[in-house]
Amino acid sequence: MENSKTLAALFIHTLVLVAPLLVMATDPDPLQDFCVADLNGMPTVNGYPCKPPSSVGDEFLFSSRATKGGDPMSNPNGSNVTELDVTHWPGVNTLAVSMNRVDFTPGGTNPPHIHPRATEVGLVTRGELLVGIIGSLKSGNRYYSKVLKVGDTFVIPRGLMHFQFNVGKEEASMVVSFNSQNPGIVFIPLTMFGSSPPIPTPVLAKALRVDTEVVDLIKSKFTGGY
């Protein structure tokens, strides 16, 4: 009887130690060659449901979407983003990769923003771009920047605020890639002044140390979004 109690206690003790590991156990890598996204399904933690292999050809491996950029004059920022995330390129589903092409008018900017779910690597393919990265509070909010030309590259750590600005006299372009099929984006100006419902004006006035009239003026610039 004593031995049974000892074995039972040992089993319970072992279970308490091992259970958290079982709960946390995952398989971070894809378990099949490809999982072409079924965009009609509901996304889960690892992506969209897979289409049956028999129902897809090989076109999901390739995309010509980024061969032509959009019109950078289509918004006040003077830039246009051509997205190649999972919703535009279903073949990247579960592969933790995606791409964007960004085109700029002279003086155009990709405004300060963050990608909450991905690190970004970029290549300038045309023109000259000022790339700026702002560190976290722990770094003293340090500002890192450099003017990059064709062939130059840059990296943006996940979650850090950054921007690109065309400092040249001609149009500029860049191609960027992410280590997420859906990196997400939070535009800082739009988030602060164009949220829905809006952030209370007194909150922004206090945070920015300006009069409420200034906040209301800036908010009026973002009523139509980006």
What is the per-residue pLDDT across 60-96, written as a single tens digit (0 to 9) for each?
A: 889 999 998 899 999 899 999 999 999 999 999 989 9
Between 45 and 89, the higher pLDDT residue? 89
- For residue 24, is pLDDT > 80? no
pLDDT at res. 146? 98
What pLDDT was estimated at residue 223? Answer: 79
Does residue 33 have a pLDDT over 80? yes
3-state secondary structure 18-49: HHHHHHHCCCCCCCCCCCCECCCCCCECCECC
> What contacts 176, CB < 8 A, 6 or more positions away?
99, 100, 102, 120, 121, 122, 123
How many Å apart are CA 68 and CA 80, to the nearest integer?
11
CA distance 63 to 176: 15
Please say whether the dihedral angle defined by the alpha carbons of residues 40, 38, 69 and 184, taken in this order, is positive or negative: positive
Binding residues for oxalate: 100, 110, 115, 120
- Mean pLDDT throughout 188-203? 96
Q: What percent of the chain has pLDDT over 90?
A: 71
Tell the residue number behind the tokens 């958290």, with chain if given.
20
CA–CA separation, 29 and 137 (whole Å): 33
Q: Which residues are annotated as a binding site for Mn(2+)?
A: 113, 115, 120, 162
Q: Confidence class of residue 53 from pLDDT cuts 50, 70 and 90?
A: confident
* pLDDT, tens digit, 9 for 90 and up, residues 145-175: 999 999 999 999 999 999 999 999 999 999 9
pLDDT in tens, 94-104: 899 999 999 99
Q: What is the identity of the amino acid at 55?
A: S
Give the residue ranges of the annotated binding site.
100, 110, 113, 115, 120, 162
Helix boundaries (H) for 176-211: 188-193, 201-208
Q: Locate 108 and state its tokens.
A: 């155009």
